[in-house]
Amino acid sequence: MTELPSRRLLLVHAHPDDESINNGATMARYAAEGAHVTLVTCTLGERGEVIPPELRHLTGPALGAHRRGELAAATAALGVRDVRLLGGAGRYGDSGMMGLAENADPGCFWQADVDEAAGRLAEVILEVRPQVLVTYDDHGGYGHPDHIQAHRVAMRAVDLAAERGHRVAKVYWNRVPRSVADAAFARLQDELSALPFDKSATVDDVPGVVDDERITTTVDGTAYAAAKAAAMRAHATQIEVAEPCFALSNALAQPLFTTEYYELVRGAGQPGETDLFAGLDLGEAS
């Protein structure tokens, strides 16, 4: 087996584009520094709303196939080469937004058996042996069924992998400190007239915003701002980028964060960390 780098990071996301919005700068930084970065995406986002008019004919499997290509381009921009689709392409379908009839589709990720899906993810963990795993909180950041399910599957997979001999030393949830979000939206109001968006979103539209004291770890990715923006642009069906902002299909401007924030929920760490691997003996959990 090929020897893996001493630092190994695994991120678990629901759809193509989530990785770039939430963790693009972090992924680019660690990849550039020589860490092994693995991304597991749970669905192809077949039910996403398409922004460009010329691509709105794409729906269902055709949209999923297109978004798979967007994911490949985005991760290439981030320098990430190890990209997995949980269970293989199309194994778990996009569940749509919470409360829609599509949530009941037996083939969607929301309806997946958590232990079965977690077993598939545990196989990746046992192969890659990450010391650090990043995913969403138990609300999925903003309540999307696939994000909630990704959280459940990721946390269960950590337990299953531990039972089989590999302990993930640190588990983080994606976060944004409220003070940072408030300040960014205040700046956005001043910048909005120069942007191609008529209105801004609000802090409540940003997934994972929490009170500042819950933030344990800050990753400065400003040196990788261009890589994150390029990755987000690659997801053209879902994101319109106009630095220092972006918008989703609702056309509401949001700040594009290049410093990214995390809450350590498993493992030992100290508030004020600036490195996801802080405090680890890199021979640990190897």
Residues belonging to the binding site are 15, 18, 147
Q: 139 burial class (0-12, 13-18, 19+ CB within 10 angstroms)? A: middle
Q: Which two tokens stand for residue 176?
A: 């944004």
DSSP for 187-208 reads HHHHHGGGSS-SEE--GGGSTT
Sequence-distant (≥ 6) Cβ neighbours of residue 88 within 8 angstroms: none
Examine residue 53 and say whether the peptide bond preceding it is cis (omega within 30 degrees of 0). no
Binding site, annotated residues for Zn(2+): 15, 18, 147
Q: Which two tokens stand for residue 83?
A: 């990209």
**Chain centre to alpha carbon of residue 53:** 26
Name the pairing type of β-strands 259-266 and 8-13: unpaired
DSSP for 244-273 reads TEEE-TT-EEEE--SEEEEEEEES---TTB
Picking from 20, 18, 15, the residue whose alpha carbon sits closest to that of residue 108 is 15
